[in-house]
Amino acid sequence: MNTKLVALVTGANQGIGLEIAKALAAHDYTVLVGSRNLERGEAAAKSVGANAHAVQLDVTVQASIDAAAERIRSEFGRLDLLVNNAAISNTREPGTPFEEILQSSRPSNASLDEVRAVYETNVFGVIAVTQAMLPLLREAPAARIVNVSSGVGSLTLNADPSFPYRAGFSVGYSASKTALNAVTLAFAIELESTNIKVRAVSPGFTATALNNFAGTETVKQGSQAPIRAALDQDGPTGTFTGPDGPLPW
Protein backbone atom coordinates (compact mmCIF):
# COMPACT_ATOMS: atom_id res chain seq x y z
CA MET A 1 0.00 0.00 0.00
CA ASN A 2 1.28 3.45 -0.93
CA THR A 3 1.64 5.55 2.24
CA LYS A 4 3.12 8.60 0.53
CA LEU A 5 0.85 11.59 -0.04
CA VAL A 6 -0.18 11.97 -3.67
CA ALA A 7 -1.03 15.28 -5.37
CA LEU A 8 -2.37 16.01 -8.84
CA VAL A 9 -1.66 19.45 -10.31
CA THR A 10 -3.42 20.28 -13.58
CA GLY A 11 -1.62 22.44 -16.12
CA ALA A 12 1.65 21.70 -14.33
CA ASN A 13 4.00 21.60 -17.29
CA GLN A 14 4.80 25.33 -17.00
CA GLY A 15 4.35 28.51 -14.98
CA ILE A 16 2.69 28.48 -11.58
CA GLY A 17 1.59 24.86 -11.92
CA LEU A 18 5.18 23.72 -12.38
CA GLU A 19 6.30 25.74 -9.35
CA ILE A 20 3.55 24.17 -7.26
CA ALA A 21 4.64 20.72 -8.42
CA LYS A 22 8.25 21.43 -7.46
CA ALA A 23 7.26 22.65 -4.00
CA LEU A 24 5.05 19.63 -3.33
CA ALA A 25 7.78 17.23 -4.46
CA ALA A 26 10.21 19.00 -2.15
CA HIS A 27 7.78 18.25 0.69
CA ASP A 28 7.88 14.55 -0.19
CA TYR A 29 4.61 14.35 -2.11
CA THR A 30 4.30 12.07 -5.09
CA VAL A 31 3.37 14.72 -7.64
CA LEU A 32 1.35 13.96 -10.74
CA VAL A 33 2.13 16.57 -13.38
CA GLY A 34 -1.05 17.02 -15.38
CA SER A 35 -0.44 18.23 -18.93
CA ARG A 36 -2.45 18.25 -22.16
CA ASN A 37 0.74 17.42 -24.05
CA LEU A 38 2.33 14.32 -22.54
CA GLU A 39 5.81 15.09 -23.88
CA ARG A 40 5.80 18.50 -22.23
CA GLY A 41 4.48 16.91 -19.07
CA GLU A 42 7.27 14.36 -19.09
CA ALA A 43 9.88 17.09 -19.55
CA ALA A 44 8.36 19.04 -16.67
CA ALA A 45 8.22 15.95 -14.43
CA LYS A 46 11.88 15.28 -15.17
CA SER A 47 12.73 18.83 -14.07
CA VAL A 48 10.80 18.31 -10.84
CA GLY A 49 12.63 15.12 -9.94
CA ALA A 50 12.08 11.53 -8.98
CA ASN A 51 8.92 12.33 -7.00
CA ALA A 52 7.10 13.54 -10.12
CA HIS A 53 5.21 11.62 -12.81
CA ALA A 54 3.60 13.01 -15.96
CA VAL A 55 -0.11 12.37 -16.51
CA GLN A 56 -1.78 13.19 -19.82
CA LEU A 57 -4.73 15.32 -18.83
CA ASP A 58 -6.79 17.63 -21.00
CA VAL A 59 -9.38 19.14 -18.68
CA THR A 60 -11.73 19.79 -21.61
CA VAL A 61 -11.85 16.14 -22.71
CA GLN A 62 -13.84 13.76 -20.49
CA ALA A 63 -12.09 10.65 -21.81
CA SER A 64 -8.73 12.16 -20.86
CA ILE A 65 -10.00 13.01 -17.37
CA ASP A 66 -11.45 9.52 -16.85
CA ALA A 67 -8.23 7.87 -18.04
CA ALA A 68 -6.20 10.01 -15.63
CA ALA A 69 -8.45 9.06 -12.71
CA GLU A 70 -8.19 5.37 -13.58
CA ARG A 71 -4.42 5.57 -13.85
CA ILE A 72 -4.10 7.34 -10.50
CA ARG A 73 -6.18 4.66 -8.79
CA SER A 74 -4.42 1.71 -10.41
CA GLU A 75 -0.86 3.03 -10.30
CA PHE A 76 -0.79 5.17 -7.14
CA GLY A 77 -3.80 3.94 -5.17
CA ARG A 78 -4.69 7.26 -3.58
CA LEU A 79 -5.10 11.01 -4.05
CA ASP A 80 -4.71 13.45 -1.16
CA LEU A 81 -4.54 16.78 -2.95
CA LEU A 82 -6.02 18.16 -6.16
CA VAL A 83 -4.76 21.51 -7.44
CA ASN A 84 -6.96 22.77 -10.26
CA ASN A 85 -4.45 25.09 -11.87
CA ALA A 86 -5.03 24.67 -15.63
CA ALA A 87 -6.47 27.84 -17.15
CA ILE A 88 -6.51 29.96 -20.28
CA SER A 89 -7.25 33.67 -20.69
CA ASN A 90 -8.02 33.73 -24.41
CA THR A 91 -7.70 31.79 -27.65
CA ARG A 92 -5.28 34.15 -29.37
CA GLU A 93 -1.98 33.17 -30.87
CA PRO A 94 0.88 32.95 -28.33
CA GLY A 95 2.65 36.27 -28.06
CA THR A 96 -0.44 38.42 -28.63
CA PRO A 97 0.11 41.72 -26.74
CA PHE A 98 -1.77 41.84 -23.44
CA GLU A 99 -3.37 45.19 -24.27
CA GLU A 100 -4.77 43.71 -27.49
CA ILE A 101 -6.21 40.80 -25.52
CA LEU A 102 -7.86 43.20 -23.07
CA GLN A 103 -9.35 45.36 -25.83
CA SER A 104 -10.83 42.34 -27.62
CA SER A 105 -12.23 40.89 -24.39
CA ARG A 106 -14.51 43.78 -23.45
CA PRO A 107 -18.15 42.77 -22.89
CA SER A 108 -19.36 44.78 -25.88
CA ASN A 109 -17.18 43.00 -28.44
CA ALA A 110 -16.01 39.75 -26.86
CA SER A 111 -16.15 36.70 -29.11
CA LEU A 112 -18.68 34.23 -27.73
CA ASP A 113 -16.64 31.36 -29.14
CA GLU A 114 -13.64 32.59 -27.13
CA VAL A 115 -15.74 33.06 -23.98
CA ARG A 116 -17.03 29.50 -24.33
CA ALA A 117 -13.50 28.17 -24.79
CA VAL A 118 -12.27 29.99 -21.69
CA TYR A 119 -15.16 28.63 -19.63
CA GLU A 120 -14.54 25.11 -20.93
CA THR A 121 -11.10 25.12 -19.31
CA ASN A 122 -11.48 27.48 -16.35
CA VAL A 123 -14.92 26.42 -15.12
CA PHE A 124 -16.31 23.25 -16.69
CA GLY A 125 -12.86 21.65 -16.70
CA VAL A 126 -12.53 22.23 -12.97
CA ILE A 127 -15.95 20.73 -12.30
CA ALA A 128 -15.23 17.70 -14.49
CA VAL A 129 -11.80 16.99 -13.00
CA THR A 130 -13.05 17.47 -9.44
CA GLN A 131 -16.00 15.13 -9.99
CA ALA A 132 -13.71 12.47 -11.46
CA MET A 133 -11.20 12.70 -8.60
CA LEU A 134 -13.74 12.88 -5.76
CA PRO A 135 -13.99 9.10 -5.21
CA LEU A 136 -10.22 8.99 -4.57
CA LEU A 137 -10.24 12.15 -2.46
CA ARG A 138 -13.07 10.80 -0.31
CA GLU A 139 -10.88 7.83 0.60
CA ALA A 140 -7.99 10.02 1.78
CA PRO A 141 -7.72 10.75 5.51
CA ALA A 142 -7.39 14.51 5.00
CA ALA A 143 -7.92 15.64 1.42
CA ARG A 144 -7.79 19.11 -0.10
CA ILE A 145 -8.91 20.75 -3.30
CA VAL A 146 -7.17 24.01 -4.20
CA ASN A 147 -8.58 25.99 -7.11
CA VAL A 148 -6.20 28.58 -8.56
CA SER A 149 -8.43 31.61 -9.06
CA SER A 150 -7.69 35.32 -9.48
CA GLY A 151 -8.38 38.57 -7.69
CA VAL A 152 -9.88 39.89 -10.94
CA GLY A 153 -12.72 37.44 -10.38
CA SER A 154 -13.79 39.18 -7.16
CA LEU A 155 -17.10 40.97 -7.65
CA THR A 156 -16.53 42.97 -4.47
CA LEU A 157 -13.14 44.27 -5.62
CA ASN A 158 -14.37 45.09 -9.13
CA ALA A 159 -17.36 47.00 -7.73
CA ASP A 160 -14.88 49.37 -6.08
CA PRO A 161 -13.87 52.21 -8.47
CA SER A 162 -10.42 52.32 -6.86
CA PHE A 163 -9.58 48.71 -7.77
CA PRO A 164 -6.63 49.03 -10.20
CA TYR A 165 -7.62 46.11 -12.46
CA ARG A 166 -11.31 47.02 -12.69
CA ALA A 167 -11.13 48.36 -16.25
CA GLY A 168 -10.08 44.93 -17.47
CA PHE A 169 -13.07 43.07 -15.98
CA SER A 170 -14.21 40.86 -18.85
CA VAL A 171 -17.01 38.42 -19.60
CA GLY A 172 -14.29 35.88 -20.49
CA TYR A 173 -11.33 35.34 -18.18
CA SER A 174 -12.44 37.60 -15.30
CA ALA A 175 -15.99 36.29 -15.19
CA SER A 176 -14.72 32.71 -15.54
CA LYS A 177 -12.77 33.22 -12.31
CA THR A 178 -15.90 34.65 -10.67
CA ALA A 179 -17.69 31.47 -11.73
CA LEU A 180 -14.77 29.38 -10.46
CA ASN A 181 -15.12 31.03 -7.07
CA ALA A 182 -18.80 30.07 -7.04
CA VAL A 183 -17.88 26.51 -8.03
CA THR A 184 -15.32 26.42 -5.21
CA LEU A 185 -17.92 27.51 -2.66
CA ALA A 186 -20.49 25.05 -4.01
CA PHE A 187 -18.09 22.12 -3.56
CA ALA A 188 -17.00 23.40 -0.15
CA ILE A 189 -20.60 23.56 1.05
CA GLU A 190 -21.41 20.07 -0.21
CA LEU A 191 -18.23 18.59 1.25
CA GLU A 192 -18.03 20.52 4.54
CA SER A 193 -19.09 17.47 6.57
CA THR A 194 -16.43 15.28 4.92
CA ASN A 195 -12.65 14.96 5.09
CA ILE A 196 -12.22 17.24 2.05
CA LYS A 197 -11.42 20.95 2.29
CA VAL A 198 -11.95 23.19 -0.71
CA ARG A 199 -10.28 26.58 -1.20
CA ALA A 200 -9.77 29.19 -3.91
CA VAL A 201 -6.49 31.09 -4.04
CA SER A 202 -5.21 33.93 -6.19
CA PRO A 203 -1.51 34.05 -7.09
CA GLY A 204 -1.66 37.79 -7.84
CA PHE A 205 -0.82 39.44 -11.18
CA THR A 206 1.91 37.04 -12.21
CA ALA A 207 3.97 37.13 -15.40
CA THR A 208 3.00 33.90 -17.19
CA ALA A 209 1.96 32.78 -20.66
CA LEU A 210 -1.63 33.45 -19.52
CA ASN A 211 -1.08 37.21 -19.89
CA ASN A 212 1.84 37.11 -22.35
CA PHE A 213 4.15 37.74 -19.37
CA ALA A 214 2.66 41.17 -18.65
CA GLY A 215 2.24 40.45 -14.93
CA THR A 216 4.07 42.39 -12.26
CA GLU A 217 5.04 39.39 -10.11
CA THR A 218 7.51 36.66 -11.01
CA VAL A 219 6.38 33.05 -11.23
CA LYS A 220 8.32 32.35 -8.02
CA GLN A 221 6.43 35.13 -6.25
CA GLY A 222 3.05 34.25 -7.74
CA SER A 223 3.30 30.60 -6.83
CA GLN A 224 3.76 31.26 -3.11
CA ALA A 225 0.09 31.73 -2.18
CA PRO A 226 -1.09 28.59 -4.04
CA ILE A 227 1.81 26.62 -2.54
CA ARG A 228 0.89 27.72 0.99
CA ALA A 229 -2.73 26.71 0.42
CA ALA A 230 -1.73 23.37 -1.11
CA LEU A 231 0.56 22.45 1.78
CA ASP A 232 -1.83 23.60 4.52
CA GLN A 233 -3.47 20.40 5.73
CA ASP A 234 -5.10 22.13 8.70
CA GLY A 235 -6.40 25.21 6.94
CA PRO A 236 -10.03 26.30 6.52
CA THR A 237 -12.51 25.33 3.84
CA GLY A 238 -14.70 27.56 1.70
CA THR A 239 -12.25 30.47 1.60
CA PHE A 240 -10.77 32.78 -1.05
CA THR A 241 -7.28 34.05 -0.34
CA GLY A 242 -4.39 35.78 -2.08
CA PRO A 243 -0.76 36.69 -1.44
CA ASP A 244 -1.74 39.11 1.36
CA GLY A 245 -4.49 37.08 3.01
CA PRO A 246 -8.28 36.78 2.61
CA LEU A 247 -9.95 38.19 -0.50
CA PRO A 248 -13.62 39.17 -0.81
CA TRP A 249 -15.80 37.07 -3.07
DSSP 3-state assignment of 171?
coil
Which residues are known catalytic residues?
A: 173, 177
- Phi, psi angles (nearest 5°) of residue 207: -75, 100
Q: Could you tell me which of 39, 3, 46, 55 has the C-alpha nearest to residue 25? A: 46
DSSP 3-state assignment of 216?
coil
Q: Could you tell me which of 117, 8, 127 has the C-alpha nearest to residue 68? A: 8
Helices (H), the chain: 15-26, 38-48, 62-71, 98-103, 112-119, 125-139, 155-158, 173-191, 219-222, 224-231
221 contacts 204 by C-beta, under 8 angstroms = yes
Q: Could you tell me which of 129, 134, 214, 211 has the C-alpha nearest to residue 174? A: 211
Count other Cβ atoms within 10 Å, centred on residue 219: 18
Overall size of the chain counted in residues:
249
